[in-house]
Amino acid sequence: MGRLERDAADALAAAASSAELAEVETAALGKRSALAAAHRHLAALDPDARRAAGKALHDARTRLEALAAARAEELVAAERALMLGRDRLDLTEVTADEIRSAMTRGRLHLVTQTRRELEDVFVAMGFTVAEGPEAETDWYNFEALNIPPAHPARSMWDTFYLELGQPETVVLRTHTSPVQIHLMEDGPPPVHAVIPGRCYRRETADARHLPVFHQLEGLVVDRGITFGDLAGTIETFTTAYFGPDIHSRLRPGYFPFTEPSAEVEVTCTICRGAGCRTCSSTGWVELAGCGMVDPAVFEAVGIDPEEWSGFAFGFGIDRCAQMRHVIADMRVLTENDVRFLRLF
């Protein structure tokens, strides 16, 4: 192997990339290469020497071309491997949290999540889940619940009326209590049911109130039901849903459809009882009304109050969510700001 061939072979072997190899190949084997120049000098030789030199040059070119092809194959393989390595996604480095935050999947609204949690707590205590209509006649929303027309207690509920039938006879339900009446009409006792649903009141939204809100009604009708059963059920519920750290209490109250009646309150979670704007400086927030079903309600649906007794309650679902998740102003629940919704 002559010097010329050895130099060309070294240059081909040293080429570090396909692009560099192409340049080296042109320089070593192309028209302007030393090899081509040597070829041109053959003409000046006598025939025997020309034949021998010609063969030597031809053999050298053949070997160099084979070398170049082999080096090209090596370089292409190395470059492919490099490219694959660069494109590879190392999933072992990605945490579950990163994947979760990269996904823009939707979720249930906090109020829906809360409704389901409340249902679960009561279902675990043996209640069934029922539903009722959002548009009610005056009789279901008021009269059957022992609230006669023009009764002063009606001012407890600022009502939206629908333009249906006689004026002021069809309402958007102001509470879920009318479903108690439907359930007792639907079949004989016993009844152990909770009823979640949307309610409407003609009032201005504030930190603790929304004109469209949600309640979870409860009704138990059976033989020998006492106020102790009611208090125990409420206590079991508040501990299961809020945990042992939040204090609840029953306060005497008034509702036309229960006697006696009580209000369920929890320590305001915003100020921990110190008093703030959310709890109107009282340190307590009302979550529910409850009581023993009034005999007048049993009579309205033809149930004998001598044989049956019962208790009822109505929790504010939005209030439960508000206290449990420490939300100072309930209005965020309707604003649909994804920065808030994403927190739950």
Q: Which of 291, 319, 320, 322 binds ligand DAH (CB under 6 A)?
A: 291
Q: Which of 196, 197, 289, 310 binds ligand DAH (CB under 6 A)?
A: 289
Q: Which residue is nearest to ligand DAH (CB)?
A: 289
Q: Which of 312, 317, 327, 330 binds ligand DAH (CB under 6 A)?
A: 312
Binding to ligand DAH, residues 150-209 (CB under 6 A):
175, 177
Amino acid at 228: G
Nearer to ligand DAH, 25 or 263 (CB): 263
Q: Where are the beta strands (DSSP E) in 179-332?
A: 191-200, 212-222, 248-255, 258-267, 284-293, 309-316
Relative to beta strand 212-222, strand 135-137 is: unpaired
Nearer to ligand DAH, 35 or 297 (CB): 297
Residue with tokens 């994403």: 342
Point out which span in 85-93, 188-196, 244-252, 310-318 binds ligand DAH (CB under 6 A).
Answer: 310-318
Binding to ligand DAH, residues 211-230 (CB under 6 A):
217
Q: Where are the beta strands (DSSP E) in the chain?
A: 128-129, 135-137, 170-172, 191-200, 212-222, 248-255, 258-267, 284-293, 309-316
In angstroms, give the least distance from the CB of 89 to ligand DAH. 55
Residue 57: name the closest of 33, 74, 73 by CA: 33
In angstroms, give the least distance from the CB of 91 to ligand DAH. 52
Q: Which residues contact 253 (CB under 8 A, 6 or more apart)?
A: 261, 262, 263, 289, 291
Nearer to ligand DAH, 200 or 242 (CB): 200
Nearer to ligand DAH, 196 or 289 (CB): 289
In angstroms, give the least distance from the CB of 217 to ligand DAH. 6
Residue 63: name the closest of 138, 131, 5, 122 by CA: 5
Q: Buried (b) or exposed (e) across 224-255, using 16+ Cβ within 10 A?
A: ebeeebbeebbeebbeebbeeebebebeebeb
Window 244-283: contact mask with ligand DAH (x via CB under 6 A): -----------x--x--x----------------------
**Residues of this chain that bind ligand DAH (CB under 6 A):** 175, 177, 217, 255, 258, 261, 289-291, 312-314
